[in-house]
């Protein structure tokens, strides 16, 4: 047994700037994967609800795979799986695609619920005013859907930040990856991961705070 372990925090503190920089990478990749994921999720939801058969089917496979397999499995698909086709993505792209795939799948279901919660008569009313289908959706339906899914969407962003830590398994150096690299170089594993945990906690709280602020500014009705 090994009771002699003494905690050394100073080396970790010296590397704190590196960890903070890596956490910016975490935020960046999470937010980017959300932005693309929201767009794709919207398309998937619409396709699943009233797309032509083959496309609706593809959308269903996407959504169900994203929701019924581990996120890590999805990352593996973008690393080993695509490798089978001779496509070797960089670790950054593996993580970005994996997160985006997952976000889009979960968000699609949220959006579908959102669309179903907006009464059909809203579309009729918009069309009766002479708005085109595109105008009706972008000006009337989708803003209401966003209001309905805002909360789940915030949760998904938090989830994306947490999920991005899987990057350490495919060798991308966002916060978790950087933490792992530094920790195993110095064998101060516990200390490094404890600090990383704190940073994640702070990031999540920061995101939730910002989202509450935005909701307060945006939803006046």
Measured CA distances, 94 to 2, 60, 76 (Å): 39, 22, 8
Chain positions 176 to 195 lying near another protein, rule: CB under 8 A, are 176, 179-180, 189-190, 193-194
Backbone angles phi, psi at 69, to 5 degrees: -130, 155
Span of 29-37, 86-94, 172-180, 209-217 interacting with another protein by CB under 8 A: 172-180
DSSP 127-195: HHTT--HHHIIIIIIHHHHHHHHHHHHHHHHHHHHHHGGGHHHHT--SHHHHHHHHHHHHT-HHHHHHH
Site string (95-134) toward another protein, x via CB under 8 A: ------------------------x-xx-xxxxxxxxx--
Which CA distances in Å does 76 have to 1, 95, 98, 127, 200? 37, 10, 8, 45, 23
In the list 39, 80, 117, 213, the residue contacting another protein (rule: CB under 8 A) is 80
Q: Does 160 bind another protein (CB under 8 A)?
A: no
Counting residues that bind another protein (by CB under 8 A) gives 59
Q: Which residues are at the interface with another protein (CB under 8 A)?
A: 1-3, 5, 64-65, 67-73, 76-77, 80-81, 83-84, 119, 121-122, 124-132, 135, 139-140, 143-144, 147, 158, 162-163, 165-166, 168-169, 176, 179-180, 189-190, 193-194, 196-197, 200-201, 204-205, 220-221
């Amino acid at each position: 047994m090994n009771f002699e372990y003494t905690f050394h925090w100073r080396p970790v503190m010296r590397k704190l700037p590196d960890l903070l920089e890596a956490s910016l990478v975490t935020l960046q990749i999470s937010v980017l994967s959300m932005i693309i994921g929201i767009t794709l999720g919207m398309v998937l939801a619409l396709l699943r609800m009233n797309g032509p058969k083959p496309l609706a089917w593809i959308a269903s496979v996407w959504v169900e795979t994203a929701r019924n397999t581990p996120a890590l499995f999805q990352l593996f698909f973008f690393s080993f799986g695509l490798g089978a086709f001779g496509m070797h993505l960089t670790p950054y792209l593996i993580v970005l695609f994996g997160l985006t795939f997952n976000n889009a799948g979960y968000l699609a279901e949220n959006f579908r619920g959102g669309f179903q919660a907006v009464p059909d008569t809203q579309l009729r009313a918009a069309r009766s005013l002479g708005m085109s289908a595109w105008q009706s959706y972008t000006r009337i339906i989708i803003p209401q859907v966003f209001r309905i899914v805002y909360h789940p969407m915030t949760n998904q962003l938090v989830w994306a930040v947490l999920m991005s830590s899987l990057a350490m398994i495919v060798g991308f150096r966002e916060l978790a990856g950087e933490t792992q690299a530094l920790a195993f170089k110095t064998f101060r594993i516990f200390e490094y991961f404890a600090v990383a945990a704190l940073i994640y906690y702070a990031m999540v709280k920061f995101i939730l705070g910002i989202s509450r602020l935005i909701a307060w500014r945006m939803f006046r009705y």
